[in-house]
Each structure stands twice: as structure tokens, then as C-alpha cells.
Amino acid sequence: SQTIHQWPATLVQPVGSPLSLECTVEGTSNPNLYWYRQAAGRGLQLLFYSVGIGQISSEVPQNLSASRPQDRQFILSSKKLLLSDSGFYLCAWTGGAGDTQYFGPGTRLTVL
């Protein structure tokens, strides 16, 4: 069966520091991968999606970037965090031609 992992689970970072969040999927190959952010009091916002290694599409211009160095690995990064980057970051995947997205456990990021 397929499993999706995210780490770290919780992160507290100072403003201006770098960020690296990791997402990995097990039990499938060539998944489509997604990064979402859930900010307090706001809905879920799609940040990036990827259909393959090195292929990244950005939905919203912002202070973040994404990379996909391996088939089942998706990384969210920032060079300098802003207060507004605080939130709950969720990774998701779909397989094959399916449109159902399956979510990871999330990373809670607090920028102070």
C-alpha cells in the first residue's frame, strides 16, 4: 500500500532563516505531487505541483520554492522566511490517471 511521509512534523523558525520541508511517497512510482498551505483562518491553498523529476509548476508567486530531486521526493524551500509563511503545510499525491489526492500528516511551521 502507498504511504506518504512528511518531516519535520513541527518547526519553529526565526524570520529570515532558511526552510526545507520534505515529503516522500512509498509504494508507488511516478506520482503527481502537490504542496498546499493551510494558514490560520484561511482555506487550503495550492502552492506547487509536480508531474515528474525536475518538473515544478507554481500556483502562487511567493517567498517559497519547490524541487523534486527524485521520483518520490518533493521538497519545499525558502531562503528567508517571513512571518506570513507560518501555517500548516500539506503534501499530497495522486497516481496514474487518478484525480484523487491523498495527503500526508502535515508540517506545522511557526515563524517568529
Partner 1 sequence: GDSVTQMEGPVTLSEEAFLTINCTYTATGYPSLFWYVQYPGEGLQLLLKATKADDKGSNKGFEATYRKETTSFHLEKGSVQVSDSAVYFCANTRAVGGSNYKLTFGKGTLLTVNP
Q: Tell me which residues touch partner 1 (CB under 8 A).
A: 6, 32, 42-44, 46, 49, 51, 57, 59, 90, 92, 94, 96-97, 99-106, 108
Chain position carrying cell 520534505: 22
Min separation Cβ 110 and partner 1, Å: 14
Question: How many C-beta neighbours within 10 Å does residue 70 have?
Answer: 10
Min separation Cβ 109 and partner 1, Å: 14
Contact predicate 30/85, CB 8 Å: no
Closest to partner 1 by CB, 42 or 69 = 42
Min separation Cβ 111 and partner 1, Å: 19
Closest to partner 1 by CB, 17 or 32 = 32
Residue 103, phi then psi, degrees to nearest 5: -105, 150
Min separation Cβ 16 and partner 1, Å: 27
25, HSE (Cβ side, Cα atoms, 13 Å)? 27
Q: Residue-wise over 19-30: b if at least 16 C-beta within 10 A, else e?
A: bebebbbeebee
Closest to partner 1 by CB, 83 or 97 = 97
